[in-house]
Amino acid sequence: MYAGPMAAIMQSLRSSAAAAIRDCRLGNSPLLRPRSRLFILSAPTSRRRYASRVDYSSSTRSTVIQLLNQISSKREVQQYLNHFSSQPSQQFAVIKVGGAILTDHLDSLINSLAFLYQIGLYPVVVHGAGPQLNRLLENAGVEPQFEGGIRITDGKTLEVARSLFLEENLKLCEKLEDLGVRARPITLGVFGAEYLDKEKYGLVGKINKVNLRPIHASIAARCLPILTSMAEGPSAQVLNVNADVAAVELSKALEPLKVVYLSEKGGLFNGDTKEKISAINLDEEYDDLMSGKHWWVRHGTRLKIKEINDLLMDLPRSSSVAIIHPADLQKELFTDTGAGTLIRRGNKVHTATSLTEFGDLEALKEKLVRGREALDAKQTVDRYIDSLAQRRFKAYFDEPMDALAIVLYPHNGASIAQLSTFAMSKAGWLGNVSDNVFSAIKKDFDKLAFTVKENDENLTWFFDKTEGSISHENGEVLFWYGIKDGKEVNELMREFYENGRDLFGEINLESRIHKAAKAAINLSGVAQQARAFSTANPRPSAKTMIHPRVSRSGSAAASLRGYATIAITTTNPNPPFGTKNATNDRPAKVALVGARGYTGQALIELLNNNSHMDLRHVSSRELKGQRLKGYHKREITYENLTHEDVRRMSDIDCWIMALPNGVSKPWVDNIRENGNDDAIIVDLSADYRFDPEWTYGLPELIDRSIICKAKRISNPGCYATAAQIGIAPLLPYLNPNASPTVVGHSGYSGAGTKPSPKNDVDNLTNNIIPYSLVDHIHEREISTQLGREIAFIPHVFSLFQGITHTISIPLSQTMTSRDIRNLYAERYEGEPLINITGDIPSVKNISGMHGVDIGGFAVHSSGKRVVICVTIDNLLKGAATQCLQNCNLALGYAEYEGIPLPSKT
């Protein structure tokens, strides 16, 4: 759950927003005044429709949308909000709520519904109460009976069910009303039914008609319609109906954009990979899923997919079904990646290898001309089509041509195919056809290159799809994937610099999305991965880039002393590593020196989880001869390695020094003498943090391409990591005449295993100990790296592991808490180990976690001082996790390989 943004949202809902809604009931607020809404009711025999145009210009809606931006980019929010608002209100969504959700996740449900209500969206809710009914019947001495999954319903069962459904319906409505959300209980009057099989099932109905008038009336009154799955049969007999069936029949009548099934599991799961299925495109995948090839598509999963396929066949192609957890409803609806399993018909991707296969060439030309600004656009397209007649190519497109890609096969001695056209409409994006097309291209071409304008609003979408890129001074960016050989990369870059957009001398019709579609599909800031097919959902891995990713806000290197040589940027729309294919698939032999300490033990667990790390030697004088615990790839015995041993060990790819300060140098010197100049050394002590020959390894702030090329990496200190990450986004806004102050508190594991007053539990009980009040080595480290004098005051307290910083930062200009929080959210967008929250992060919640939590953002009444709170686990992101990030990058692996990524809050 997105506790940070959602907590702020719900706080807003419970106060100003709730008050605004209540005022509306008295006619005191403009938010819900009946203006700008037109109702058009058709004849009684036809489906009722009404068009709507609502002006939600109130501060409440604006506030909620701004809060929504914290879990999604502004582009995504506006795109989906416009899309949902483009339909009549009753056609937004049908949400089916199971009884277990009402019992165990009611707060998440009402918060999500209230959120949608605040931005002017009216989902139609249909709920069941199966688990509650089972319990009531059992308590009454009635054993529930089922036949083929259908509840046998006699008079006694129906009496209990009616009372229960009414109670659950009112409870949900009352909870919503408590948040200022108007909700209308609709327990009967929507579903008409006949007996399913009276002799077999009793009082169970088969829906044969749906009356939408109660739903229209509810939404017209600005109320959320809350329906039970009860139907009226012959002679006004109430009949029991399965809630899933009721939701299906209601969806067929309403034809909503979204049908949502709320699930405790949060989606469907691939039985082979154990991962949640992000998306299923039925046109492409249904036959394969039902073929029996996938053992996990059985029982309930198979039935669910079949039922959804049957439903979507009766709905417009723009409709889709989402299976999600109620806490993830906002993310599912308003982000490209979603949160649960999205099921849609999609558009099947067709291919063509000759112009005759397109049929109507004029339609193809019209598609290519559309959205091009140049006066000679038609002539340019004509020339391009003529060139295709002379070349071997493969085109990919859906039937309505909402997406079109043309790939030129290699020729003239080239070995790399070129994507020369990629055109996409709004419908192509919303239907995800663009991702399907690119997936199809990747299946056919193992190497591909193309160019994009560097100011293209969709630049990060191409970053997400490729493995490497480089900029040209003429404003073009070259992208590629599948090219591993350095000679090929050099040749490709040579062609790029000689020919620019026209790689290999080809005619290139701007391999970018046409301007007409940009407003709808701007993908800037996509740190998330677009939805992939259910049966091919690869895990993201590392991205190789020739240059640092271009920041949307530009580089701040010129204004940041201390970071001038490492090109820190004020935003990070996508981490360039850790989310794309790694450059190395060969296992690395690793030696760990100093494994007895807490950090060493944490590293062993991480190395065990990393499929590329082959731990060969573990050195500890005290544990010599004992078997290493926590590592399962091979049996390892602790050694007491000597410097002479190290000189002989020339086959090690990576050395990790987990030693106390002042001890590493002899080890490093002997490693350098063993003749293995390619070996990576990562030192966790402070010995080399100020050595210019060593790379300072803080991937979230240092240009990752520098770490990738480094042989000697100094791992930052735990206190210093948290402080730098907490201060860095505000460096351009610091008061030049005052210094930030960091008050740090650490668990006693930070004092190491050697006995001292700072790790004596008895001494720390009911106590907190400040130490090294000035000139602590981390104070020097933080100040050196940030290029500003920073005051740092450490303390140790009785928690075993975890650090909390309270950072007071003087500002050069007046800023609000929201300004600062947005600055941090944008700066760390796409960094999976950094979480921005509106709350003050709790140190106990970070213990055992691999990331950094940043929150608080309390601004002094003057507007020129902010207090920020940062928490980090000193043994993990403060040491072992960060060490593994650096090892992965330097060795060419995915940055987060072996690191359990924390869920954002």
Catalytic residues: 718
Give one DSSP letter per residue of 481-550, joined into a string. ES---HHHHHHHHHHHHHHTTSGGG-----SS--HHHHHHH--TT--SPPP--TT--PPP-----SSPPP
What would the two tokens of residue 255 be?
Answer: 């034809």
Return d(Cα 746, Cα 847) in angstroms, integer. Answer: 11
> Which residue reads 């109507």 in tokens?
360
Amino acid symbol at 79: Q
Angle between helices 299-313 and 243-254 (to 10 degrees): 20
What would the two tokens of residue 8 be?
Answer: 């702020």
Give one DSSP letter per residue of 824-889, joined into a string. HHHHTTT-TTEEE-SSPPPHHHHTT-SSEEEEEEEE-TTSSEEEEEEEE-TTIIIIIHHHHHHHHH
CB atoms within 10 A of CB 624: 12
Strands (E), 348-490: 350-352, 393-397, 403-408, 417-424, 448-453, 468-471, 476-481
Residues in the chain, total: 905
For CA atoms 69, 71, 75, 79, the dihedral sign is: negative
Say which residues have a Cβ less than 8 Å from residue 804's Cβ, sequence separation at least 6: 744, 745, 841, 843, 846, 869, 870, 871
> Which residue reads 């001398």 in tokens?
505
For CA atoms 452, 458, 464, 465, the dihedral sign is: negative
Return d(Cα 212, Cα 194) in angstroms, integer. Answer: 18
Amino acid symbol at 284: E
Nearest C-alpha neighbor of 857 from the set 828, 904, 822, 826: 822
Return d(Cα 565, Cα 552) in angstroms, integer. Answer: 20
What would the two tokens of residue 441 be?
Answer: 């291209």
How large is the C-alpha radius of gyration of the chain?
A: 30
Amino acid symbol at 666: P
Say which residues have a Cβ less than 8 Å from residue 580's Cβ, sequence separation at least 6: 464, 466, 467, 540, 541, 542, 543, 544
For CA atoms 492, 498, 502, 505, the dihedral sign is: negative
DSSP 621: S
What would the two tokens of residue 52 be?
Answer: 């709507």
Instruction: Please compute, for residue 704, the number of CA atoms within 13 A of its CA located in the half-sphere on the CB side.
Output: 30
The CA dihedral of 213, 217, 222, 227, to the nearest 10 degrees, is -50
What would the two tokens of residue 460 be?
Answer: 């990060």
Return d(Cα 6, Cα 70) in angstroms, integer. Answer: 9
Nearest C-alpha neighbor of 723 from the set 673, 776, 680: 776
What would the two tokens of residue 641 be?
Answer: 């390695």
| Burial of residue 537, with CB atoms counted within 10 A of its CB: 0-12 exposed, 13-18 middle, 19 or more buried | middle
Return d(Cα 755, Cα 454) in angstroms, integer. Answer: 57
Nearest C-alpha neighbor of 23 from the set 52, 53, 67, 59: 59
